[in-house]
Amino acid sequence: MNDNIKKVLRHPTQSEGLIFEKSSPGKRAFDLPPLDVPPVDAAKALGEFHRGGGVEGFPEVSEIEVLRHFTRLSTWNYAIDLGMYPLGSCTMKYNPRVNEFVARLAGLATEHPYQPQELSQGCLKILQLLEKCLLEITGMDAVTLQPAAGAQGELTGILLIRAHHEKLGNPRKTVLIPDSAHGTNPATAIIAGYQVQNIKSSDEGQIDIARLVEQVTGDVAALMLTNPSTLGIFEQRIAEIAKVLHAKGALLYMDGANMNALAGVTRPGDLGVDVMHLNLHKTFSTPHGGGGPGAGPVATKKILEPYLPVPVLVEKEGGRLVLDYHRKESIGRVRAFGGNFGVLVRALAYILAYGPGVRQATEDAVLNANYIRKHLEGVFDLPYTRPSMHEVVFSDALQKKHGVNTMDIAKRLIDYGFHPYTTAFPLIVPGALMIEPTESESKEECDLFIDAMKSIAREAEADPEVVKTAPHTTRVRRLDEVAAARKPVLRWKPGGKKSEAAD
């Protein structure tokens, strides 16, 4: 088949060119009507420095070309509205439309953070109600909504711990972090001025209590515990862990990123946790990814309440709400204003929509993960056999016998119409396949995913090259990741060279 025939048969959405390539001098999307006022010399009116010039190389295209181009591009995006995101640890769940509707209400979306507090009582009541809900769900005593992400929530929590120890006269030197924790935990501890000491997981993916007792000395400020861990396993002896720490004056920080497996079922505050953060984009369905606004509230026990970031929301007599900036022991601000208000509104909408059903959502998430686990056991290696929570971690050990690794399997999964799972994480599982379906997915969707994974496993055994060279159906084939890292193409101009990273 010659190239001309290929061009005719090619589906237009499969190989969309750049908008610059469609440009032709003189084309216009629209024409503005003639001015009905005398023209003004912009340079004289504004000053030459403030006068903008034209955009060099700006594409000249017709309106329908613009419309069709960006409509076709939109079909390239994979989204939660299109299909399942089995990314373990990320909890890519569906964002209910009611969240967006509420956040866009005129009395909420248009409020200004600098308006007087007397005019903001409705917004402040929303924040207060969200605080009460989060405290009830976590079993903690106080909360700040300021942090804009989970990692900032972690830092806030560790700074609260540091402030507590400093008040006692010794900030201490070390933070203990299990090898099954989220990767941001060590960075958080170091930024807060601590040294990091690793705790190796047992063969069952749990903390070895005997070893912990040896490691908790008077220099230890806290243990940062991800629970459930990145292995998708619940730390069953967490209450005992808390007692070991408290006996030495250390505190227990819990990374609450995986609260999607606990909300409505158990409360960290009842298990001895002193401080924790919550990822509202994970557990409470606010928008996730893309670098957009996030929220990572931090909840604490009373022992750390004096150090919370300012301002703190306080209720005065008569129910009037005020923001209190005058707290002598506060660690100060960690975020402008009260946090990302629109995201907080979305989280509250989700909680109120579910009500007690938050527990059902949690149970469905755990059920889906274990359903997938049960059907893929034996097909893929399962390094840890303790019951899974909201996610399950396999390894590529069986497929490596045929030269196929976790990245190959993930790339091949794209050909089956699924977003890849999380590859090569957690690091303590070589060749990890980390899968989290969340409660969003139906049995039918889980079955399709299971069938795809089984089919890829059969391909890895019978025809490994098909998997190793995947994906085959995408517009861009597999990239040379080494070249992409070492020789990134950061700027492209029409007529420029094709990226060396592309196959």
**90 within some domain:** no
Domain match, 344 and 381 both: no
**179 within some domain:** yes
> Dihedral of the CA atoms 145, 149, 151, 154 (nearest 10)?
10
**80 within some domain:** no
Domain match, 306 and 226 both: yes
Q: What's the confidence (pLDDT) of residue 10?
A: 38
User: Minimal CA–CA distance to 343: which of 286, 299, 296, 288?
Assistant: 286
**400 within some domain:** yes
Q: What's the confidence (pLDDT) of residue 141?
A: 98
Sign of CA dihedral 278, 280, 283, 287: negative
Helix 150-167 / helix 184-191 crossing angle, nearest 10 deg: 40
Q: How confident is the model at residue 320 (pLDDT cuts 50, 70, 90)?
A: very high
Q: What's the confidence (pLDDT) of residue 334?
A: 95
The structural domain count of the chain equals 3
pLDDT over 80 at 2, yes or no: no
How many CB atoms lie under 10 A from the CB of residue 272? 19
Domain match, 277 and 405 both: no
Domain boundary among 324, 356, 388: 356
Q: What's the confidence (pLDDT) of residue 194?
A: 97
pLDDT tens for 110-161 read 999 899 999 999 999 999 999 999 999 999 999 999 999 999 999 999 999 9
Domain match, 365 and 351 both: no
The DSSP result for 56-99, as a single string, is TT-----HHHHHHHHHHHHTT---TTTS---BTTT------HHH
Residue with tokens 């190793």: 468
Q: How confident is the model at residue 98 (pLDDT cuts 50, 70, 90)?
A: very high
Residue with tokens 């001025």: 193
Region 201-229: mean pLDDT is 94
Domain match, 308 and 191 both: yes
Q: How confident is the model at residue 291 (pLDDT cuts 50, 70, 90)?
A: low
pLDDT tens for 452-496 read 999 999 999 999 999 999 999 887 888 888 888 898 888 766 555
Phi-psi region of 262 (alpha: psi -120 to 50; beta: other; left: phi over 0): alpha
Domain match, 249 and 383 both: no
Domain match, 300 and 364 both: no
| 12-21, 26-35, 228-237: the lowest-pLDDT one | 12-21
**87 within some domain:** no
Q: What's the confidence (pLDDT) of residue 232?
A: 95
Domain match, 373 and 352 both: no
**CATH number, domain at 449?**
3.90.1150.10
Domain match, 239 and 283 both: yes
Classified as helix, coil or strand, 336 is coil
Higher pLDDT, 138 or 51: 138
Structural domain of residue 398, as residue ranges? Answer: 360-485
Q: How confident is the model at residue 500 (pLDDT cuts 50, 70, 90)?
A: very low
Domain match, 185 and 279 both: yes
pLDDT over 80 at 189, yes or no: yes
> Dihedral of the CA atoms 491, 492, 493, 498 (nearest 10)?
150
| Gap between the Cα atoms of 185 and 183, Å rounded | 5
**109 within some domain:** yes
**CATH number, domain at 110?**
3.40.640.10
Q: For all residues of the chain together, what is the average pLDDT? A: 91
pLDDT tens for 11-21 read 445 567 889 98
Region 333-356: mean pLDDT is 93
**490 within some domain:** no
Q: What's the confidence (pLDDT) of residue 81?
A: 85
Helix 406-415 / helix 443-462 crossing angle, nearest 10 deg: 120
Q: What's the confidence (pLDDT) of residue 215?
A: 96
Region 103-109: mean pLDDT is 93
Higher pLDDT, 485 or 258: 258
Q: What's the confidence (pLDDT) of residue 447?
A: 97
pLDDT over 50 at 503, yes or no: no
Domain match, 365 and 341 both: no
Q: What's the confidence (pLDDT) of residue 496?
A: 53
Domain match, 155 and 172 both: yes
pLDDT over 90 at 31, yes or no: no
Instruction: Work out the burial of residue 459: count CB atoms within 10 Å of its CB; fewer than 13 is exposed, 13-18 middle, 19 or more buried.
Output: buried
Q: What is the value of pTM for the model shown?
A: 0.86
Q: What's the confidence (pLDDT) of residue 41?
A: 85
Q: What's the confidence (pLDDT) of residue 42?
A: 81
Q: What's the confidence (pLDDT) of residue 494?
A: 58
Q: How confident is the model at residue 47 (pLDDT cuts 50, 70, 90)?
A: confident
pLDDT over 70 at 332, yes or no: yes
Angle at 145 between CA 224 and CA 159, to 5 degrees: 40
**501 within some domain:** no
